[in-house]
Structure 1
Amino acid sequence: MSRVTLKTVAQAAGVSPSTVSNAYNKPDQLSAALRERILAKAQELGYAGPDASARALRSGKVGAVGVLFTDKLAYAFSDPYAVGFLAGLAEVAEEFATSLLLVPLSPTDIQGGTNAVQQAAIDAAAIFCVAAGHPALDVLKNRGIPMVSTDRGDHPDLSWVAIDETAAAAELGRHLARLGHRDLVVLLDNAQAAGSRPVELSLDEVGYTDCELRVRGLQKAMPDARIRLVSGGHNAFSSGLAAAEWVLDSQDRPTAIVGLSDVLALGAMEAMKTRGLVPGRDLTLAGFDDIPAAGTVGLTTVSQPIKDKGRTVGRMLLDPAFTERQITMPTELKVRASSGPAPRN
């Protein structure tokens, strides 16, 4: 049986090919009766409609926004922060009949990620948790793909929806300083597998802009404190657990631990629990983001509007009426039971 095409339907319905095309793409240009007759004939012949790729070539649009992030694909569905951000972005994408294409960038296979971005059929890109200077960003720029990042940038041509990471972390730092803390361990993520052997890092080894700015904010607010950076792998509960176990089992235990995400802090809370330590009494614990679980367990954390950030990125990418290009979202320190005065030696 020969392939049924738009021209086949036009001949069978006794109309021109452009009229059949209008029945699918410009229904307001046809009477309801004529459109229904054409669609009925198309269904009878088994015609599914105009070819999507051909339509994309004509319009120059594919109807998709790429979401770039540096992690495995499963991260987008398992990390509470990522889930909230994507939910907000998806709301706006749905409003504009646009799909989302998740583009994970492996921290070890840089070329593979760059090739994926080069080949991705997208109209725009949301840059979510991608290290500054990743070559995939240059690919997008060379392709002329509009981008909106969740990291702030200094150049006036950059588009971003972000928080003031330094100021938010400094507010947390001042809270810890008022409680008398002068010895702090910061848990952060790196490119290693979740739950990897913990390593102590220097600030120039951090790699992610948001993490670096948060550390600088803590340093600014706590200039007299000793602040050590420890990572147990990429952003995951098991990474926070592994890093905190290593810290808590050392002879040089701090008076406070800060996870640069709530997920890491929750892992640290589990490590404390198994050692009979009570957050806020034996050792202060704080996080960052204010995911739903943070409030449930009484975690002191920096709250940011996760879902609204996703919505605003989507609006900036897709809504022609939205003209702002650089937006700083508000944050708030949520003080809960997990923070308390530094224990006296």
Structure 2
Amino acid sequence: MSTATISRVLNDSPLVTEPTRRRVLKAVEALAYRPSHAARTLARRCTDTLGVVFPRIGSGFYTEILQGIDEIAAAHGFHLVTAFAHGLRDEKELMTQFMRGDRVDAAILLNLDFRDPSLFQLGTQHVPVVLIDEPIPGADLSVVEIDNRGGAEAAMMHLLGHGYRDIAVIAGPPGNYDSDARLESCLTVANRIGVTIPEERLFFGNFTSESGETIAQQWFDEGRPIPRAILALNDVMALGVMETLRAHGLRVPEDVALAGMDDCEAASYVGLTTVHVPIRDMGREACRIAVAHIKGALTVEKRVMPTQLITRRTCGCSEG
């Protein structure tokens, strides 16, 4: 029996008859043969591996996305190589390695600071790239992002619908893609109906509960008037604000109404009104697109994942 026939059987070729397939598999079992993964991937010019690059460790947001990616990757027989970049230089080095074409079959990237479109355009001739959450201007790449503007508009409109007018907004770091889009949408919708969010009611954290706590604590330390309602542009900061308000004896929502964004797991436990973001679905969709590119799909896909307002009790609504 030729080596070509054996190779066809081990690679599930439809060109092999069933009797021949059974004979080869019986011989393989008798010899306790194990195919070399490296040799097989080299012969097929692929690695069965997807590269995933995140900007940092320690975010539940990234964990949810990674779980979604892994679900689809496993279903298609791909392994994941996950890297967490530490700064711009590290991101560039990781991208250069991935773009060489012999490490991974596709790369999935989330919110990197490295923005050189020329490297991405050159690299994608060898390795497909899918972006999650933030497109790169000048690079014609598939991207899966959130409807940040629609979600923030829904949250702000809901607070305004309760009759709140003294509203503070706690955004993420200036320059952050998601935060900038959410903040702009909040201010636009408020202005559209004649409500001004003054500069002294705009605050900037870093998406952590500690930054939410710090911002709220400053109001008390500096004797500032406490806003009647607060929209934090992610749930984790909202939870930090809630902790500080309650530590100072204020009730949510009776004294201060509160809403967040993202619908993290803890939000439902404390009754936080929020905007649901399909985080795991973003990972699934990005991986689906990456697999399609590996299999030869050339169409660049642009997907905007829908968001949904989830009303709970912290805004003044009754749950249930």
Tell me how far 1:210 sits from its aligned partner: 1.1
Instruction: State the partner residue of 2:307.
Output: 331
Alignment of 1:141-220 (within 5 A): 141-144=121-124, 145-151=127-133, 153=135, 157-178=140-161, 179-188=163-172, 190=173, 206-220=174-188
1:163 to 1:247, Cα distance in 2 relative to 1, 3 A: same
Tell me how far 1:302 sits from its aligned partner: 1.0
- Secondary structure in structure 2 of the residue aligned to 1:314: helix
C-alpha distance in structure 2 between counterparts of 1:102 and 1:243, whole Å: 34
- Contact kept in structure 2, 1:90 and 1:100, CA below 8 Å: yes
2:91 corresponds to which of 113, 117, 124: 113
Tell me how far 1:19 sits from its aligned partner: 4.7
- Contact kept in structure 1, 2:121 and 2:139, CA below 8 Å: no
- TM-score, normalised with respect to structure 1: 0.75
1:257 corresponds to which of 230, 235, 243: 230
C-alpha distance in structure 1 between counterparts of 2:131 and 2:272, whole Å: 28
**Which range moves more in the overlay, 305-314 or 238-247?**
238-247
Tell me how far 1:126 sits from its aligned partner: 2.2
- Contact kept in structure 2, 1:23 and 1:38, CA below 8 Å: no
C-alpha distance in structure 1 between counterparts of 2:189 and 2:168, whole Å: 12
- Secondary structure in structure 2 of the residue aligned to 1:308: helix
Unpaired stretches in structure 1, ≥5 consecutive residues:
1-14, 191-205
- Secondary structure in structure 1 of the residue aligned to 2:133: coil
- Contact kept in structure 2, 1:185 and 1:254, CA below 8 Å: no
- Secondary structure in structure 2 of the residue aligned to 1:294: helix
Instruction: State the partner residue of 1:92.
Output: 72
Unpaired stretches in structure 2, ≥5 consecutive residues:
none
**Which range moves more in the overlay, 16-25 or 324-333?**
16-25
**Which range moves more in the overlay, 218-227 or 207-216?**
218-227
Instruction: State the partner residue of 2:48.
Output: 63
The Cα RMSD (Å) is: 2.8
C-alpha distance in structure 1 between counterparts of 2:94 and 2:210, whole Å: 29
**CA-to-partner distance for each residue in 1:185-218, whole Å, 9 max, x for gaps?**
3142x4xxxxxxxxxxxxxxx1221111001011
For this pair of structures, how many residues does the alignment match?
295
Tell me how far 1:23 sits from its aligned partner: 4.9
C-alpha distance in structure 1 between counterparts of 2:121 and 2:79, whole Å: 21
1:104 to 1:263, Cα distance in 2 relative to 1, 3 A: same
- TM-score, normalised with respect to structure 2: 0.80
1:68 to 1:259, Cα distance in 2 relative to 1, 3 A: farther
**CA-to-partner distance for each residue in 1:148-188, whole Å, 9 max, x for gaps?**
22336487943222232112212222222332233413142
C-alpha distance in structure 1 between counterparts of 2:88 and 2:134, whole Å: 23
C-alpha distance in structure 1 between counterparts of 2:221 and 2:107, whole Å: 43
- Contact kept in structure 1, 2:56 and 2:84, CA below 8 Å: yes
C-alpha distance in structure 1 between counterparts of 2:208 and 2:47, whole Å: 34
Instruction: State the partner residue of 2:62.
Output: 82
Instruction: State the partner residue of 2:218.
Output: 246
Amino acid of the residue matched to residue 100 of structure 1? L
